[in-house]
Structure 1
Amino acid sequence: MAIDPLPLLERLIALDSVNPDLSPGGAGESAVAGFCEDWLRERGFEVHRLERRPGRPSLVAVARGSGGGRSLMLNGHLDTVAYGTYKGDPLAARVQDGKLFGRGAFDMKSGVAAMMAAAAQATERARLPGDVLLACVADEEHASFGTEEVLERFTADAAIVTEPSHLEVTLAHKGFAWFEVEVLGRAAHGSRPDLGVDAIAKAGHFLVALEELGRRLAASGGHRLLGPGTVHASLIDGGEGPSTYPAHCRITLERRTVPGESAATVRAELTGILDGLGATVPGFAYRLHEGLHREPFEADPDSAIARVVLRQAERVLGRPPVIRAEPFWTDCALLARAGIPCLLFGVDGGGAHADTEWADLASVRQVTDVLAATITEFCSGTP
């Protein structure tokens, strides 16, 4: 019997799960994880609660198969961004003109509701040959420690991340690498240019070179689905006062990467630029510090999970689904790094991280139908 995901989605929206690493004082995932745990246990799932960081739980709910089938993991994150200037009550789901409004409606409690309803529907009457795993994870909006914790203990033959994708099948996304360039000067009184080295002025040479790198990347063509990688300066800090030569200028930059690029290739790229400036700009010196980085992702369009999702999406939508790539990062990259073939498929809507957020109601039901049929077909196949 079909399970309507919309009442479940309304309950999920009503539970505050703002990520406290993004917004100090945020509620975190405890309340929403507790609700999901109760809901899934009532429907016969074996639920594992992972909580290395107190107050930041992730869940893995398992419907054990009878044996001989393929296992499938559905992954969705429980955390949301802050309410900020959200218009109206962010925890009160509101339906209007075929849309459901509320914080997390689009990103991504709709995907969590769809995967929970689909898994319950696919397993309620009989055991499938393969295991079905639901990973309801913490912290995707910040550093994804939830999915990392899950992958230390669980694996599957394939996975689907149910981030919103406008009913299009996402087979690739960009990664990112954060670096800090510290340009070194020499502090001195503003009246003594003979003693000082202006780190901010030297940093200007690097900013010009960074802009030129961006132009070269844009002209490179890049990936067949994602286009080229990009780079931009995000933060700049330097100086101590109007009458002091600055000893340091720090520039934080973000490099968005495409398949074939990595933090190592970005480091080499930046080192080449900085060493070139050191050889041509008198007094230019630097330190390069590597920050957080996440890999880009690309799925095999001929993998078993891709073929099943494409087939079931075409059946439900009445047309072949659009194949797309995302410019932002998702947990697909972590699953792929763990050796799990995966892709991304989710609802239509809009307003992620914005002052108004909504999910298209019809699409939530369509995603649920696609996921339920995919679970049944994939988990009935042989490994």
Structure 2
Amino acid sequence: MHAPDILAKLVSFESVVGTTNADIIEWIKAYLKSFGAKVDIIPGPEGDRSNLLATIGPRDKPGYVFSGHTDVVPANEKGWTSDPFVLRVDGERLYGRGTSDMKGFLAASLAAVPMLVASPLMRPIHFAFSYDEEAGCRGVPHLIARLPELCETPLGVIVGEPSNMRAILAHKGKAAARVTVKGRSGHSSRPDLGLNAIHAVGEVLRSAVSTAQALAKGPFETEFEPPYSSVSVGTIQGGQAVNIIPDLCTLEIEARAISSADPAALLSPVRDAAAALEHREFRVEWETLSSYPALSLPRTAPLACLLAELTGIEPLPAVSYGEGFSMRAAV
């Protein structure tokens, strides 16, 4: 199969983030096995989603990994002029959900399988396809945890995010969390009898804002935009009516860290502020939504040199978004 045909098949699977990816994983597994690849399925704790690791060549030697995700964001935009899950060809352009991010990369990788199988590989090529990347790289940690028993430590990982075929040397790390504060409901005329969860979350919010302001003062890594770590609150939800004391409020927050910082540690002041509410009868839940470290490769790193040679394009120093696979280099 040629890459456009493979892409058409991949696009046809509605593997929307947060839903099952069983069908697309089974199709990819069957395709790879038809060429004699070694294939392992790594289920996630959700029960209906899995990662896939496949290898062409010897697994007992270090090689390179093509890494991508099978999930796509929902196709709810109003601008679609055709079925987003049916590949549409318009001249030299291919339209469909995921054609760029990132089923196009999966298709290109899979289309290379016949050539790789026919080559006398001295080192293996691995295919590591994950799930729920769009929800904060939730699937790939389960795959990474299994790598030591499935293959030798890779020499490097090429993550096929859409970057115009330009390798990226550095990206920020990320940690995201959901804070749920539970208080006590009541009528707003008697605030003394209730515990206002929204008011309590306000204290967590103030901690987040002050942390963000402090981070903006440095330290700095000038290759990033902005050149400092950041903390940002994305959502706050709570309350039923203006005359009801809200007994529940939820806040979602993320940190994006320059390479010298630990993204999870950046949220520590906010987590401490949330935990302090428990001394005032509130119940607090802290749920980690996602976490991955920053990437920082020197231009002279072997993987960076290899990708520059293969693409003919100098690597980009840094981007502020990120990926969740260790030893990464996005292309």
Where on the TM-score scale, by shorter chain, does this alignment land: which range? 0.7 to 0.9
* TM-score, scaled relative to structure 2: 0.79
Q: Quick check: 1:190–1:245 contact (8 Å CA) kept in 2?
A: yes
Counterparts of 1:33-72 in structure 2, within 5 Å, are 33-51=25-43, 54-65=47-58, 70-72=62-64
Q: Is the 8 A contact 2:7 2:104 kept in 1?
A: yes
Shift in Å, 1:188: 5.5
Indicate the residue corresponding to 2:65 in structure 1.
Answer: 73
How far apart are the structure 1 equivalents of 2:275 and 2:27?
54
The corresponding residue for 1:7 is: 5
Residue of structure 1 equivalent to 2:115:
121
- Is the contact made by 1:115 and 1:162 (CA closer than 8 Å) also made in structure 2? no
Aligned pairs for 1:1-383 within 5 A:
4-19=2-17, 21=18, 26=19, 28-51=20-43, 54-65=47-58, 70-85=62-77, 86-124=80-118, 126-142=119-135, 144-151=137-144, 152=146, 153-155=149-151, 156-174=154-172, 175-180=174-179, 182=181, 189-192=187-190, 198-201=196-199, 203-204=201-202, 206-220=204-218, 222-226=220-224, 227-239=227-239, 241-246=241-246, 249-262=249-262, 264-270=264-270, 287=284, 289-301=286-298, 302-314=300-312, 320-332=313-325, 336=326, 341-345=327-331
Q: What is the CA–CA distance in structure 2 between the aligned matches of 1:275 and 1:32, rounded to whole Å?
A: 42
Q: Partners in 2 of 1:39 and 1:78 — Cα distance?
A: 15
Instruction: For residue 239 of structure 1, report the CA deviation from its aligned partner.
Output: 4.1
Distance in 2 (CA, whole Å) between partners of 1:322 and 1:66 is: 29
Matches of 1:236 and 1:180, distance apart in 2: 9
Question: Higher relative CO (CA 8 A, sep ≥ 6), structure 1 or 2?
Answer: 1
Alpha-carbon offset, residue 94 of structure 1: 1.7
Identity of aligned residues (%): 24
Q: Which amino acid aligns with 1:42?
A: S
After superposition, the Cα gap between the structure-2 partners of 1:154 and 1:165, relative to the gap in structure 1 and judged at 3 Å, is farther
How many pairs does the alignment contain? 318
Q: In the alignment, is the contact (CA less than 8 A) between 2:231 and 2:253 conserved in 1?
A: yes
Change in CA separation of 1:148 and 1:212 when aligned onto 2, cut-off 3 Å: closer
Shift in Å at residue 130 of structure 1?
1.2
1:267-315 residue CA offsets vs partner (Å, 9 max, x unmatched): 433256679999xxxx89884724223123214233322221122211x
- When residues 162 and 127 of structure 1 are mapped into structure 2, their CA distance, relative to the original with a 3 A threshold, is same
The structure with the largest alpha-carbon Rg is 1
What does the per-residue CA deviation read over 1:123-168, in whole Å, with 9 as the maximum and x for residues that have no partner?
31x3211122112233322354543333314342322112222212
By how many angstroms is 1:199 displaced?
Answer: 4.8
TM-score (norm 1): 0.70
Q: Matches of 2:69 and 2:123 in 1, distance apart?
A: 23
Alpha-carbon RMSD across the aligned residues, in angstroms, is: 3.5
